[in-house]
Amino acid sequence: MAVTFTTTYVGKDASGLLGKMIANTPSFAQGGFTINENVKGFGNIRLVDGSADLWVDDDGTFADGGTLALTSKKVTLAFKKLNKTILKKDIATDWASADMAAGAAGNLSGQTAEAIKAECLRVAQDATEAAIWTSLITAVNADATVVDQAVSTFTSANVVAQLSLITEKYADSTNGVGEAVLYMHPSVQAMLNTAQSGLGNNDARGFKAENFGGYKIVSSIAIPKAKVLLTPVQNMHFLIDRYSDLSQFAMLDQSGVTGANAINLVVNASYAAAYVRGSEIVLGTAS
């Protein structure tokens, strides 16, 4: 699922690059998260008390059903930065940039600047993906409302049976509603590929399992191999402030400032990953 962004805010120059970072981060590129943009400081996710008797027969009167209980889940943004110094002579050597030659204007050419930005975006994507799943796995492990399902260590021989335990538990716990997604390590998905291919589900082009039991698969190398999550994608949120003046993606030429024949690369961003309801997550843990 493609992720696109539009903005007219003051930080739009930086937000375009940060938007590319988000869109190309593996979990987002596969449509694994609901994106919440322009989050300042922290985002409150409102939860309605589902235990209340909200839905009753209509007898034509207005009968006070009590106060609708709302709770807020506070999600604190993490502030990230990338501050590096790049020597112009190294750029001239590595990218053979004519603009870096002696006597030239001394500014980065568009092609050279884009090459540096693209590589830094890749580094930021990998770091973001790792940070997302580090925090989420820690949170679900500690959450008593998460529905746990023990499974055996995944192998190509048992992966179908073990994933079936997780999907069956999800159906029992949540009525199987929502656009649910299976989140897993690529090695577990590879085992499923092997198992399904052995059942004849392949052709001349090979086979790749993109869903299991009707549930879409999102894989990330940042998810532990022993963990599989099943939850609606609407339950998984990524909150980011891309628009404010705090967001920055800039290359600052120091030649005319300090005299240094160098460029300062500055990236500032803030984001957080969170789920809404632990009770809508089935966490399969292999042992």
Query: How confident is the model over 221-250, as a mean pLDDT?
Result: 89
Higher local confidence (pLDDT), 102 or 235: 235
Residues 40 and 165 in one domain: no
Residues 219 and 87 in one domain: no
Query: Cβ distance 243 to 10 under 8 Å?
Result: yes
Residues 38 and 94 in one domain: yes
Q: Which strands, in side-by-side order, build the sheet including 227-232?
A: 147-151, 282-286, 227-232, 180-184, 215-219, 211-212
Specify burial of residue 49 (Cβ count, 10 A radius: 0-12, 13-18, 19+).
exposed
Residues 212 and 83 in one domain: no
Query: How confident is the model over 2-18, as a mean pLDDT?
Result: 53
**Residue 175 lies in domain:** 146-233
Residues 26 and 89 in one domain: yes
Residues 256 and 126 in one domain: yes
Query: Cβ distance 222 to 4 under 8 Å?
Result: no
Q: Kindly tell me if the per-residue pLDDT of 135 is higher than 90.
A: yes
Task: Measure the CA–CA gap between 282 and 264, rounded to whole angstroms.
Answer: 45
Q: Kindly tell me if the per-residue pLDDT of 102 is higher than 60.
A: no
Q: Kindly tell me if the per-residue pLDDT of 14 is higher than 80.
A: no
Residues 130 and 88 in one domain: yes
Task: Say if 136 falls within a structural domain.
Answer: yes
Task: Say if 197 falls within a structural domain.
Answer: yes
Higher local confidence (pLDDT), 74 or 232: 232
Hey, what's the torsion of the CAs at 53, 58, 60, 61, to 10 degrees?
-10
Task: Measure the CA–CA gap between 135 and 127, rounded to whole angstroms.
Answer: 12
Looking at residue 8, its pLDDT comes to: 39
Looking at residue 197, its pLDDT comes to: 73
What is the number of structural domains in the chain? Answer: 2
Q: What is the pTM of this model?
A: 0.79
Task: Measure the CA–CA gap between 10 and 247, rounded to whole angstroms.
Answer: 10
Q: Kindly tell me if the per-residue pLDDT of 113 is higher than 80.
A: no
Residues 123 and 169 in one domain: no
Residues 157-213: tens digit of each pLDDT:
999 999 999 999 998 877 655 689 999 999 999 999 888 776 555 544 455 678 898
Query: Cβ distance 268 to 248 under 8 Å?
Result: yes
Looking at residue 63, its pLDDT comes to: 83
Task: Say if 21 falls within a structural domain.
Answer: yes
pLDDT confidence band for 10 (50 / 70 / 90): very low
The mean-pLDDT minimum among 31-35, 115-119, 163-167, 259-263 falls in 115-119
